[in-house]
Structure 1
Amino acid sequence: MNLYIIRHAIAVDEGTPEYEQDSERPLTDKGKKKMRQISKGLRTLGADFDLILSSPYVRAKETAEILADVFKVKAEVAFSDNLVPMGDPDLLIAEMNEKYSANSIALVGHEPQLTALVSLLVAENTSVDMTLKKGGVCRLSADDLHHSRKATLEWLLTPGILVEIGEK
């Protein structure tokens, strides 16, 4: 199983008057454009998804929709409250095991939840010191998440590197 851990792209700043709730903040035009380039970079690297599971927050939803469009994913994007900023990684893993059977999953969400998920899967809850920038992607591989939560960190790429790869 491959897991692509994807942080949402650049969004409108927190505290912007038009968006009272943090969950309502959309991507900026720059964020949308950059996410399209990042998605093309992922496609060039040979990434593929059976499922895109996203936080329901607007900025993550828009990121997931761009990803689905670039990858021509036929199924709709699925949403999980366990991918919100303070979501529980253990509950997310349980949800994935119960609801979805996919070999390759893109998980679109927020920090600090995504780093907590990577820490749980790679280092068994020991905090992993990593920076997942907006639009950054981390690829993990695992044989199975049912009995063992061990995953291997395959790569962690910044948005800038993915944009460069997508432009080739």
Structure 2
Amino acid sequence: MPSLYLIRHGIAEERENYLEDDTKRPLTDEGRKKTKQVAKRLYDLGLRFDLLQTSPLVRARQTSDIFTDVFGNCPVEQEAELAPEGNIDSWLKGISAWLTQHPQPSKASLGIIGHEPDLTTWAEMLIWGESRGVLVLKKAGLIGLSLPETQPWLGNGVLFLSIPPKLLI
């Protein structure tokens, strides 16, 4: 079963300071520091990615930069559907195509870096086929799901990890 890790971007600057263009809101110094600690801990625990996808927003790209610094030569793609209010169906089509090209799809490990409430909504849709509003994902936190080897994925994912950053640093 392929593994999917949903990672929320690290602590970012206050929204009020970026009212004209929230897409440019960066991580704070504390956000960079904590995100690096989380990434190092996950790496030390043996987590690896075959692909890391990130939202195009600055804070998510900065989070992915930290992960790639820690994880080494992990391939990274910017994915428009990971921006706020992205379309899960469109994203799933792309991931399905990527998996068909992967040498061992059943062992594939994919990390996606995005935003709330989209990441928990997507996780719940993959697990239950609908959003229930019960999962919580803190900044720099992680949700791990196992996906079935073939579609449909919606409603057939298995939650195996939900961890706040405070347990990793």
TM-score by length of structure 2 reads: 0.88
Pick aligned residue for 2:115 from 110, 125, 137: 110
Matched, 1:93 2:101: no
**Deviation of 1:73 (Å):** 2.4
Amino acid at match of 2:42: L
Aligned to 1:154: 160
Structure 2's unaligned 5+ residue stretches are: 103-107
- Between stretches 29-38 and 94-103, larger displacement belongs to 94-103
**Deviation of 1:125 (Å):** 1.3
Note closer, same or farther for the CA distance 1:13–1:97 as it changes in structure 2 (3 Å cut): same
Structure 1's unaligned 5+ residue stretches are: 164-168
Given that residues 63 and 113 in structure 2 are in contact (C-alpha distance below 8 angstroms), is that contact kept between their aligned partners in structure 1? yes
Q: CA RMSD in A?
A: 1.6
Aligned to 1:14: 15
Note closer, same or farther for the CA distance 1:35–1:148 as it changes in structure 2 (3 Å cut): closer
- List aligned pairs for 1:43-58, cutoff 5 A: 43-58=43-58
Q: Secondary structure at the match of 1:33?
A: helix
Aligned to 1:61: 61
Given that residues 118 and 128 in structure 1 are in contact (C-alpha distance below 8 angstroms), is that contact kept between their aligned partners in structure 2? no
**Deviation of 1:145 (Å):** 4.8
**Deviation of 1:98 (Å):** 2.5
Amino acid at match of 2:111: A
How many residue pairs align between the two structures? 161
Amino acid at match of 1:5: L
**Deviation of 1:126 (Å):** 4.1
TM-score by length of structure 1 reads: 0.89
**Deviation of 1:128 (Å):** 4.5
What fraction of aligned residue pairs are identical, expressed as a percent? 35
Q: 1-side partners of 2:150 and 2:111: how far apart?
A: 15
Pick aligned residue for 1:133 from 135, 138, 155: 138
